[in-house]
Every structure is written in C-alpha cells, then in structure tokens.
Amino acid sequence: MSTPTRILLQTTIPTTADDWHIGRFSLLRDHLASLRDPGGAPLYDVVARDRAARGDDPVLATLDASDIAELWLFAVDSGNGLTADECAAIGRFRRRGGGLLVARDHEDLGSSVCTLGGVGAAHHFHSKNPEPPERRTRDDDLATNISWPNYHSGSNGDLQVITPVGELHQVLRRADASAIREFPAHPHEGAVSAPTDARARVIATGTSTVTGHTFNLIVAFDRGAAGEGRALAHASFHHLVDYNWHPAFGHPSFVTDPEGDQLRRDPGRLSDIHAYVANAAAWLSAR
C-alpha cells in the first residue's frame, strides 16, 4: 500500500471566528481526504490549520524540512500574513520539489504573497505589483468599498463560465477528457498573470458580468529546470471556500453582497470544481 501524499491547507491569519479561517475550507479538506486510489486506499493525508498568532509560524517556517508534499496557501490577510523566514522556507520547499497552490482575492487581500519567489510575481494587487495602467480601474462597481482589482464573475452562490487558454491543461480535464467549464463565482476576484521569467502560463480566464472584460483566473507553473515543484496561482480563494460551494455554510459578517441561488438549486453543478481539486492535487504532487 502506498503512503498517502501529505497536503497542508493553510491560511495566512490566526484563527479568527469572523473571518476566512481554515474552518471555512472544510468541504475542500473533506473532498481531498475522500479521494482514493484504485485499491481503495486514501490518496491524501490532509492537514488544515491557521497560522500562529505571533512570530514565525512553526509549520510554515520549517516547511522545507517536513514531509509535506503540497502547500495550498489561502492568503486571506491584509498584507502582513507571511514573515521573511516563512517565505524563505516556502521557497526552499518548492525548490526541493514541493507543490504549491496560492489563492488570494480582491484589492490588497492576501498581498503578503508578493514576497514569495516566483509564484508571488503572478499576483497583482492594488498597492503591490499592480496590473498594467489600463487595468487599474474598478470592475465591480456595485461594491463601492472595494477597489481594483475586483473582477465580478457573478454572485456568491452562483457559477461562472471559465474558458481554458491554449492547450487544455491537465488540471482542467474532466474524466471524459472534456474541459472543465464551471467554477464557483465571486463578485470581486483578484488579478493574476504569468511572469515572463518563469515556466508559467495562464490556463483559464473568466469574464466580468458587469463590464464584459476578460480576466485571468489561474496561472500554472510547470516543474522548473532545477526541479522546482509545480504551482498554481488563483485569482480568488472563493473558488475553494465552503460558502461558495454551499452558501448555507455561511460567511463572515463583513460579506454583504447579494447572494445567488444556482448552487442551492443544483448542487450537482459542483462536479467541475470537485474534478479540478482532484486534478490539482494529483498534478501538484506529480502523480
């Protein structure tokens, strides 16, 4: 029997009840833990946690010396979610072959990831590493308290149509080899792009329901020439959070956007994001 691949689901904030703490990613955790090999053995050993309240996080700061194979990092902080030592350890982790998924959200939410080597450059924020000047404008004009980048892919509780870019990437294939087409929507997603100095490309885009503008959803980094692990950069952690999979799971009190009902009416439409999660876990671990 093969040993399950260890996956760490990690936020960049200490446990805070009225925020996007790791408990709000329970459906993702449970789905990953449910995946089995052909013999029925679990594929993944999933650890889910928030960061330490003070100082260097003891897990992140020693990640490269651990037996963790994949880090799924949910950057839900306002800019101070990672220390220099943690970033250095995550860099060493990827250089030794570890897989990395980094998801953030609108404006400056999660901007601490800019300090990560390589993958950090894929993320654009309001105050750090902004998009080109022509993109520095509010897309979601319904939420006047949120500035760019804030691409409106639809209401929480609804689904957005995603468009694969270039050759269909492995993480975007359904079991029948057709393309994954639906992701949970969010009214103000962030911005990502493929750095020109990395083995990276945009693999999926979305379309704003407000302006009609196309924006990047996912950037994939292939294994580097020196053996660096694969990576995925997401424009929004809302693709993977409980609230956007099943709105009845609730949200922090600061979320005031009108809610959609597509997933309430047809939960079976989560099949594409479930397939994506399984594909991403396999691809990041090079299974």
Domain ranges of the chain: 5-284
Chain centroid, CA 222 distance in Å = 16
Query: Could you tell me if 140 and 210 are in contact, meaning their C-beta atoms sit under 8 angstroms apart?
Result: yes
Helices (H), 24-116: 26-34, 84-95
For 44-85, the pLDDT digits (tens) are 999 999 999 999 999 999 999 999 999 999 999 999 999 999
Chain centroid, CA 4 distance in Å = 22
- The pair of three-digit structure tokens given for residue 173, joined into one six-digit string: 């294939």
Question: Residue 1: is its pLDDT beyond 80?
Answer: no
Give the pLDDT confidence score for residue 141 in this predicted structure.
Answer: 82
Residues written for the chain? 287
| Range 148-168 average pLDDT | 97
Please report the beta strands in the chain, taking only residues with DSSP state E, as ranges in sequence order.
5-11, 44-49, 70-74, 99-103, 123-124, 159-161, 163-164, 182-184, 191-192, 200-207, 214-221, 231-234
| Range 31-42 average pLDDT | 96
For 122-133, the pLDDT digits (tens) are 999 999 999 999
Distance (Å, rounded) from C-alpha 150 to C-alpha 202?
Answer: 18
For 4-15, the pLDDT digits (tens) are 999 999 999 999
- Contact partners, residue 10, CB within 8 Å, separation at least 6: 22, 48, 49, 50, 51, 59, 60, 71, 72, 73, 74
Determine the CATH number of domain 5-284.
Answer: 3.40.50.880
Of 201, 200, 95, 215, whose CA–CA distance to 162 is shortest? 215
For 203-231, the pLDDT digits (tens) are 999 999 999 999 999 999 998 877 899 99
Q: Report which secondary-structure segment, H or E, holds 154.
A: none
Query: Could you tell me if 160 and 185 are in contact, meaning their C-beta atoms sit under 8 angstroms apart?
Result: yes
Give the pLDDT confidence score for residue 88 in this predicted structure.
Answer: 97
| Phi, psi of 247, deg, nearest 5 | -55, -25
Largest CA distance in the chain: 54
Q: What percent of the chain has pLDDT over 90?
A: 93
For 253-276, the pLDDT digits (tens) are 999 999 999 999 999 999 999 999
